[in-house]
Structure 1
Amino acid sequence: MKIAIVSGKDEGPSKLNAFDNALTDAGIGDVNLIKVSSMLAGNAEINKLPKLKAGSMVNCVLSEVTSDNPGDEITAVIAVAIGEELGCVVETTGINEDPNELIEEAEMMVNYMMDKRGVKIKGDLIVESSTATVREIASVVASVVYLKDELIE
């Protein structure tokens, strides 16, 4: 199994446009995202996000938050743990919460998921996050994107 881990942030004239712009900033704005639960195959391989075919149906774990309250600090976090047998992904978000505390929370949750399954983590946890201070309407995203050869341009 191949995956990419991405994040993005942006503003827009509406919540929908801000979200779409954040997806585009992350490199996944031109595909149809299908949210899946947070499991990976064992020894999943992390890759740089390739150019995906526009309109493709792409599985992902998506963390996202949008706000139209100027001054809000918004954060989206994804944490990934990979073992020999399987891997786990955790997503969390926050508004006006310390981004470092959200990262720590995500790390704790993904460690717990792996421990509960009796799976030893290979290497380090991988954490991706995006934080923005809202000017008018903003969105942040972090995502694990499941890659298949037929999706790549």
Structure 2
Amino acid sequence: MKIAIVSGKAEGPTKLNAFDNALSEAGIGDVNLIKVSSMLGPNTELVPLPKLKPGAMVNCVLSEVTSKKKGNIINACVAVAIGDRLGCVVETTGINDNEEMIKEEAINMVQYMMNKRNVEIKDLIVETITHTVENKGSVIASVVYINDDIIE
């Protein structure tokens, strides 16, 4: 199994446009995202995001938050734990929370999930993105599941 971890932040004239702009900044704005739960196959490989086919149906774990309150500090975070037998992904968000606290929360959650399954963590990757809202802002962090059908 292959995954890519992406993130983006953006402003827009509406909350929806801000969200769409954040997806585009992350490189996943021209595909259809299918939210999936948090499990990875054995020895999952982290790869750079390839060029995706426009309109492709793309599985992902998506963390996103959008705000229209000027000055809000918004955070999106994903944490990935990879083991020999399986892996887990968690997502979390925050508004006006400390970025390190959000990151720590994600790490604690994914470690718990792996411990519960008695799987040793070989690799732990965390992606956090933060943005201070100017008008209408959005942040996204995502784990994208890569397969040949979605690559251009």
**Fold conserved (TM > 0.5)?**
yes
CA distance in 2, matches of 1:98, 1:42: 33
2:98 aligns to what? 98
Runs (4+) of structure 1 exceeding 3 A deviation are none
CA RMSD of aligned residues (A): 0.5
What displacement does 1:129 show?
1.1
Aligned: 1:68 with 2:68: yes
CA distance in 1, matches of 2:39, 2:99: 24
Identity %: 68
Report the secondary structure of 1:71's partner residue: coil
1:56 aligns to what? 56
CA distance in 1, matches of 2:69, 2:111: 33
2:34 aligns to what? 34
CA distance in 1, matches of 2:8, 2:125: 16
What displacement does 1:77 show?
0.2
Counterpart of 2:42, as a letter, is: G
What displacement does 1:41 show?
0.3
CA distance in 2, matches of 1:151, 1:72: 35
- TM-score after normalising by structure 2: 0.99
5+ residue gaps, structure 2:
none
Counterpart of 1:60, as a letter, is: C
Aligned: 1:115 with 2:115: yes
1:136 aligns to what? 135
CA distance in 2, matches of 1:41, 1:53: 23
Report the secondary structure of 2:120's partner residue: coil
Counterpart of 1:143, as a letter, is: S
Report the secondary structure of 2:112's partner residue: helix
What displacement does 1:60 show?
0.1
What displacement does 1:87 show?
0.2
Report the secondary structure of 2:5's partner residue: strand
What displacement does 1:50 show?
0.5
